[in-house]
Structure 1
Amino acid sequence: MAVDTSTRSKLDRRTLLIGGGVGIGLVVAWAAWPRTYLPNLTPAPGESLFGAWLKIGTDGHVTVAVPQCEEGQGVYTALPQIIADELGADWKMVGVEPAPLNPLYANPLAAEELFAAALGPLPEALRRAHIRRSGLMLTGASTSIRNFEGELRHAGAAARVLLAKAAAKRWGVDWKAVGTFNGLVYQGSQKLGFGALAAEAADQSLPDDVPLRTGEGPGLFGQPLPRLDAPPKIDGSANFAADIRLPDMVYASIRQGPAGETGLVKVDRAAANRIRGMLAVVTTDDWVAAVADNWWAADRAIDAMRPRFKTPEPVINSDSIEQALSAAFDAEGRRMAEAGDLSAQFRGAQLVAAEYRVGLALHAPLEPMTATAVHRDGRLTLWLPTQAPGLARAAAARAAGLGEGSVILHPTMAGGSFGAKLETDAAAQAALLAMRIGRPVQLTWSRGEDFRRDRFRPAAAGRMAARLDPQKQLTGWLAKIAAPSTGRELAGRLLRGAAIPGIGLALSGSDPGAVAGAVPPYAIPNLAVDHHPAEIGVPTGYWRSGAHSYTCFFTESFLDELAHVAEQDALSFRMAMLGGQPRLARCLQTVAQLGGWQGGQPGSGQGIACHSFRGSHIAVLAEAQLTGDRRVKVERLVAAVDCGRMVNPDLVMQQIEGGLLFGLAGAVGSSTGFTENVADVRDITELRLPTLADCPDITVELIRNNEEPGGASELAVPPVAPAIANALQAATGVRFRRLPLLSDME
């Protein structure tokens, strides 16, 4: 577990509280000190600026600043759609651009989710002040709509009011009688386009209370509008990091050492120089890069150099990871959640118990780590896809030895991420290469390097125990989870040097993110969840849905086993405990009806699972079997989803369908073993990902309501694996308790 020990040694609970709480008083006073941030969005010629979120041109086009990374999830459509709806814009005239770095675009929901171990122990005022003042712009944890909807709606409403006031001044009417629709401002028979009024509107003043639309009449919210990023992706005009071309640019490939404390020992520079197009070799203590006039030559040169690194201690292998998980259970765990009196419930009772395990999982997006950097006139400029632009800029500045004010970062679209592009290594490496070479450099990790140096979804184990009373009611539940403290590791790595997160890490040694999702949604009167931190020696990071990807597997698989012991239908067993969760219960009922649930009878090949998180609810029914060559064949996936009111139902459908397939990939593959501190997987063909021929028939029902929006991009991932495992139990009579499925039979 990587924690900034220097910060921790200086900031512990005793040091912080010494002197009657003076330390806490100082940081709380800092949090309360007022700060004002001004927009730094730049209008182009002919555009008028309307705050931090949008610009309107004289031709009527509306450009929306999006502070989130577009990695395929649709934020370049959903966020502008909120503004366009409130503004009354013509969708054909709406465009987007990445928002500049500014505290106004900070994402506290994502920060509190991703860095809960560091920020959670802090007082809310201090936590929120740090997130805003450090400008933590983050994409992750299904927070884009949940965090920004209110601000975007207010921004659209404010621009609408300003346009109405400008028109009212021309027409000599009350601005409250003026409306907007489809890019026009109107009052009675009078109407003007947005562009004709934009300059005048920008000079108007806002009332104290900006009215939002009432929802009456036609609007864009809730409509399946076409994606704004689709046309440029189709015609090739969309810029990804690998598309950047600069005068005199060179290309770099990199080889980094194995996991653990290592160092570069030897490279064969002469062999590299024999590669045509080769220009330079750059080394640090941790990595070596080849620079050439084309990337293919650079990557061949890396192989030709045959870099040798010091073998770290201890040696990490697949067996040592398994042993570390088992050893974690021998130490006392941290009680993370509890209800009732579990000890009394378990005392002298016959318990049902089972153990589950999941392996390391790779992110494996189509786009590997890529960054372009150039250093000119004391200023460093970077282009890269990033879920954390401020943190990437800080990492690049440290590597280049520059102040952050001397670094400009241009975020590009990402070809997938799933959490991988929260990391900042490529930004720092490209920055250092640009400084060393003195020319623009485009660094691209090879596919093998992307796998070798991934920040993996951690391996984890769950020891589950439960009591069924004589009436077969579930009265006691204990989940003991052995997993790395990935949240502390992530915070220590990405927020290093920041004093406030250092205080949070010192105040609490726990990591709530390591067991996120482990508290069942069911009405169980006595329960407890314990975290047993495991030192597996492998760098871990955030993976789509985080710990929910394994805690849901533990919970929903064990629920199915308990239903079998109780001799009850798995659906009825769950429904009986969901009286306090009507939305999740409706998802279960809906998916059972859609999927033709047969009660999970032996031979049916049907399994069911459900999950709730981040304000959303989902149930999944799977039909699966084992083939003659011992492969898992998933024939059908049916999902019922309640994620509250939807900005764009087509985007939600895409995310749910994509999440189901991502969950399927995690159930049958996407994993790697480890040999002598290096991941075994080198190529995407070794991940055993489902192909088009393997894809099941998919049915998704979106349950419509007007509840607050919940997360959608990660929602479908957690319940897929347990639904498939439960289906295989029904098909074969064998319970599979390890992910990837069948990996314990190899």
Structure 2
Amino acid sequence: METSAKNLSRRNFLKLTGLTGAALSLGFYSTAKAKEGSIVSTDTANNLGIELNAWITIDTTGKVTIVNHRSEMGQGSYQAVPQIIAEELEVDLNDVNIVFGVGNNAKYGNQITGGSSTVRGIYKKLLKLSATAREMLKLAASNKLGVPISELYAENGFIIHKASGKKLGYGELVEAASKLEPPKDVALKHPKDYKILRKPLPRQDTPLKVNGKAIFGIDKKLPGMLYAVVERNPRFLGKVKSFDDTAARAIPGVKHVLKVQMNVFSHKREGVAVVADNLWSAMQGRKALKVEWDDAGFEHHSTEQLYSKMRDQLKEEPISFKTKGNFKNVMEKETRKLEAIYETPYESHSCIEPVNCIANVTGDRVEIWGPIQGPDWIQSDISTQLGIPLENVTVNMTFLGGGFGRKAFTDYPHEAVMISKEIKTPVQVVWTREDDMTQGPFRPGMVYQCKAALTDDGRIRGFETKMAGQNMDHQNPGANKGSYNSSVTEGFLETYFNSLPHYNFGDVPLESPVPVMWWRSVYSSTNAFAFESFMDELAISVNKDALEFRRQHIWDERYHELISKLEQVSGWKSKSKNSGYGVAITECFSSIVGEVVKVSKKADGKLKIDKVWAVMDCGWYVNPDTIRAQVEGSIIMALGAAIKHETHFKDGKAVERNFDTYKLPRITDTPEIEVHIMENDEKAGGVGEPALPPFAPALTNAIFDLTGKRIRTLPFTLEEV
């Protein structure tokens, strides 16, 4: 099974997969000649003069090759995309060859693995594409056997005649099928008839990762490749004033020492690269460098200064994002009111595989290999930065050892490209753990002010959230600094907007040199702590059960069903007296997740987390095992951000440099997690991120239920509650 990314042009695709000249290849293509979303075959593509984006290719031996257009960083795209295709194509997933597609937005559409979008963004097209291939093979078999197509069915890579039992392998039919016009409309299976989808099939990438065959970015090697590490300014906007490389060049194996820049949003981060014929020599050369930095002209923030600014900004009028009715008027009239402030920390991504990238610049052509979440974004960025045609930039994906949003950024490929261009040799730039943790970008720390007015019968009449913190979009070149943060309501249940008569959501943006960007579930990971902690406080203020309080503000049956399921599986109505139970329900990336956390006290009086119940409603889905794994992983990551780690800043520099101070949750910290999946006919939602936001508020709500102590600032320490 091929695991490294290749350039999947028609010619290279056939070389890669060992296909014969005759093959049935199907994909989507959009041009002036081909209607958007049209399914095209090899012959049609050739006739139109377009290069086929081949999602499915079957050769004359019956070998099926499927392209995974998204990165695989543990979330399961390497399994999900083939599993979708194999269902309607009627092939055994174990007999399928899976390859990564290269960066090419024109061919594959948006390739960014983020926003939990891989399945929900293209599952309908992939189902239709694979069903179309199946029907073309059936038609070819019908012509060959001289029987009506209605008497044929597909199974395990064969077209079988029902009456006689005669069967033809897909390989025998591809040449004839490739000459047929793809049918316009094909019938798709009902989920009750699925044989592969909705089944907990083993992941196709697991054996590769166990036996060492999987190629991660840091594993990739090229002939003649050199290695580079970069001493970057520890303050995010600083410059290189001067450097002495005498000692560095004296290290055996060191070939080059040069100043380098890479774009980080609208700024250029500066550093000094040490390039050697092996990684160890490059690292030793870096240690021997003497660099003088110019850190003038920008603030050197500490954590205390950042949060002091955010708290002060809550006194200002926010930039309004979403509003309804007249919240201020309601707050003046109603007698029952509540107000609270919540704070969440800056966080590092801390992927197990640190950032790395290989670049090879030859003239006006660039080829890149690495753990990349957005290959089409990188292709476009490098094309723009170097002023070369888009088609001259090839971005190959490898497996990623975690991403969480960090590896969707363009900075590290750009840095690798600039070094390769300068030294005229392929180079792999490797970030150390310390580089990865201190250079960012980080999840932004946030401060929230929540206010509400309630009626005498305990219903929310007015709701307001003001968010103070950095707006990621304000960092981009030419950004409108007066624009609102469009993610202010991320994590908030969509149904609440229908039931709340008055609300106001807005933000007061913080300006800081600290670079920030997406972190698993983006702003939902911080917003939800404020939203769902406040919902709990509101329920308690009117003496109502936390689940019932939410239920009375929900008008949509889908949400009611999730609440009922959560109530049932957690035993909410029969809660034990010596335990605390907390709940939170959030929505992001078109999925709804409810979680209940149970806490109790150990014999020494300290708190422990006993269990987490999670109910995921992601609509149409692929693999229940993948969902459970993603929910569990999200909860553990949320646990770390709630009680274990945060990134601090001192004198303009990140403090935590490695896992000795940025402590991750261990197995002994992990509670029992029970996951339930809702079954319904809704469209597919995200899976990789939506289970993270509810955990922290559910945990702190549970702690209040047991101890009466309200936690409004993260992270906190269980032992100190």
Give the TM-score, by structure 2 length.
0.87
Matched-pair contact (CA < 8 Å) for 2:586–2:593: yes
Matched, 1:156 2:130: yes
Aligned to 2:595: 620
Query: Which of the numbers 210, 220, 226 marks the counterpart of 2:196?
Result: 220
Tell me the CA shift for residue 571 of structure 1. Answer: 2.1
Looking at structure 1, the residues matched to 470 and 202 of structure 2 have their Cα atoms a distance apart, in angstroms, of: 41
In the alignment, structure 1 residue 101 sits paired with structure 2 residue 103:
yes
CA distance in 2, matches of 1:216, 1:322: 52
What number of residue pairs does the alignment pair up?
Answer: 668
| 1-structure distance, mates of 2:131, 2:10 | 17
Q: Name the stretch that deviates more: 633-642 or 537-546.
A: 633-642
Contact residue 344 and residue 526 of structure 2 kept, 8 A: yes
Task: Compute the displacement of 1:599 (Å).
Answer: 7.7
Name the amino acid aligned to 2:90: G
SS in 1 for 2:13: coil
Aligned to 1:46: 19
Partners in 2 of 1:478 and 1:521 — Cα distance?
Answer: 16
Higher mean alpha-carbon deviation, 220-229 vs 342-351, is at: 342-351
Equivalent in the alignment of 1:652: 627
Whole-angstrom distance in 2 between the partners of 1:623 and 1:211 = 46
Equivalent residue letter for 2:637: F
What SS class does the counterpart of residue 694 from structure 2 fall into?
helix
Q: 1:555 to 1:82 in 2, by over 3 A?
A: same
Aligned-residue offset at 1:148: 0.5
How many Å separate the matches in 2 of 1:744 and 1:480? 31
Q: Say whether the 8 Å CA contact 1:584–1:619 is kept in structure 2.
A: no
**CA drift at 1:513:** 2.2
Shift of 1:697: 0.9
Checking the alignment, whether the CA contact within 8 Å between 2:566 and 2:596 is kept in structure 1 is yes
Counterpart in the other structure of 1:469: 455
Post-superposition Cα deviations, 1:284-329, rounded to whole Å, max 9, x if no partner, equal 3511111122212212322221433222421111122112212322
Q: How does 1:560-599 map to 2 (within 5 A)?
A: 560-578=536-554, 580-597=555-572
Secondary structure of the corresponding residue to residue 99 of structure 2 = strand
Partner AA of 1:712 in structure 2: V
Residue 673 of structure 1 and its aligned partner are, at CA, apart by 0.6
Q: Residues 484 and 105 of structure 1: is their aligned pair in 2 closer, same or farther, counting only changes over 3 Å? A: farther
Give, in whole Å, the separation in 2 of the partners of 1:311 and 1:744.
Answer: 40
Change (3 A) 1:725 1:546: same
Contact 1:583 1:617 survives alignment (8 Å) = no
Aligned residue for 1:60?
62
Is residue 510 of structure 2 the alignment partner of residue 524 of structure 1? Answer: no
Distance in 2, Cα, partners of 1:95 & 1:299: 38
What's the CA shift string for 1:517-545, capped at 9, x where partnerless?
A: 34674432222112111223311101111
Alpha-carbon distance between aligned partners in 1 of 2:605 and 2:376, rounded to the nearest angstrom: 47
| 1:178 paired to 2:162 | no
Name the SS for the 1:363 alignment partner.
Answer: coil
* 1:99-498 matches, cutoff 5 A: 99-107=101-109, 136-188=110-162, 189-213=165-189, 217=193, 219-284=195-260, 286-312=270-296, 313-350=298-335, 351-376=337-362, 378-398=364-384, 402-489=388-475, 492=476
Q: Post-superposition shift, 1:348?
A: 4.0
Distance 1:507 1:269, change over 3 A: closer
Q: Deviations over 1:465-485 (max 9, x none)?
A: 112222222222111111211
What is the CA-CA distance between 1:149 and the residue it aligns to? 0.8
Range moving further from structure 2, 333-342 or 317-326: 333-342
Which residue type is aligned with residue 370 of structure 1? N
Alpha-carbon distance, 1:401 to partner: 5.8
User: Would the aligned equivalents of 2:490 and 2:588 in 1 still touch at CA under 8 Å?
Assistant: no
Give the letter for the 2:664 counterpart. L
Contact map agreement 2:484 2:506 (CA 8 A) in 1? no
Find the aligned partners of 2:467 and 2:719 in 1 and give their Cα distance: 19
Please say if residues 483 and 532 of structure 1, whose CA atoms lie closer than 8 Å, have aligned partners that are also in contact.
yes
Alpha-carbon spacing, 1:208–1:690, altered in 2? closer, same or farther (3 Å)? closer
SS of the aligned residue for 1:50 comes to strand
The secondary structure found in structure 2 opposite 1:391 is: helix
Equivalent residues of 1:521, 1:612 under 8 A apart: no
| Contact 1:316–1:677 (8 Å) recurs in 2 | yes
The Cα of 1:743 is off from its aligned counterpart by 11
SS of 2:661's equivalent? helix
CA distance in 2 between counterparts of 1:96 and 1:563 reads: 50
Preserved contact between residue 444 and residue 517 of structure 2 (Cα < 8 Å): yes
Q: CA deviation at 1:141?
A: 0.3
In 1, Cα distance between equivalents of 2:419 and 2:604? 49
Query: Take 2:271 and 2:122, find their aligned partners in 1: how far apart are those partners?
Result: 39
The equivalent residue for 2:36 is none
SS at 1:693's partner residue?
helix
Distance 1:683 1:697 in 2: 28
| Structure 2: gaps (5+ residues) | 1-8, 28-53, 262-269
* Secondary structure of the structure 2 residue equivalent to 1:687: coil
Query: RMSD over aligned Cα, in angstroms?
Result: 2.6
Distance 1:446 1:152, change over 3 A: same
**CA deviation after TM superposition for structure 1 residue 598, in Å:** 6.0
What SS is found at the alignment partner of 1:443? strand
Distance 1:586 1:685, change over 3 A: farther
Paired AA for residue 329 in structure 2: A
Distance 1:279 1:466 in 2: 64
Larger deviation: 72-81 or 470-479?
Answer: 470-479
Superposition map of 1:613-692 within 5 A: 613-624=588-599, 633-692=608-667
**Do the aligned residues in 1 keep the contact of 2:612 with 2:674 (CA within 8 Å)?**
yes
The structure that is helix-richer by fraction is 1
Structure 1: stretches of 5+ with no match in the other structure = 1-37, 108-135, 497-501
The CA deviation string for residues 679-708 of structure 1, in whole angstroms up to 9 with x for no partner, is 111002322221011111111111222222
| SS at 2:14 equivalent | coil
| Cα distance in 2, alignment partners of residues 407 and 742 from structure 1 | 48
Residue of structure 2 in register with 1:70 after alignment? 72
Code of the aligned partner of 1:475: R
Structure 1's 744 and 512: CA in aligned 2 closer, same or farther, altered over 3 A? farther
Moved more, 93-102 or 683-692: 93-102
Counterpart in 1 of 2:670? 695
* 549-558 or 566-575, larger mean C-alpha shift: 566-575
Residues of 1 paired with 2:191 and 2:620: CA distance?
13
> Cα–Cα, structure 1 residues 184 and 718, in superposed 2: closer, same or farther, change >3 Å?
same
How far has the Cα of 1:137 moved from its partner? 2.6
Note the alpha carbon deviations across 1:631-672, whole angstroms, 9 max, x for none: 864221111122112211111111111111111112113411
TM superposition score normalised by structure 1: 0.84
The letter of the residue matching 1:220 is: I
* Mapped partners of 2:407, 2:195: distance in 1: 35
Structure 1 residues 514 and 474, CA gap change in structure 2 (3 angstroms): closer
Deviation at 1:592, TM superposition (A): 2.9
Q: Does 1:511 align with 2:485?
A: yes
Counterpart pick for 1:83 among 85, 102, 109: 85
In structure 2, distance between residues paired with 1:471 and 1:172? 74
Does the residue aligned with 1:43 lie in a helix, a strand or coil?
helix
- Identity percentage of aligned residues: 30
Summarize the Cα distance change of 1:342–1:369 in structure 2 as closer, same or farther, 3 Å threshold: same
Letter matched to residue 448 of structure 1: E
2:547 is the alignment partner of 1:547 = no
Question: Relative to 1, partners in 2 of residues 1:106 and 1:63: Cα closer, same or farther, differing over 3 Å?
Answer: closer
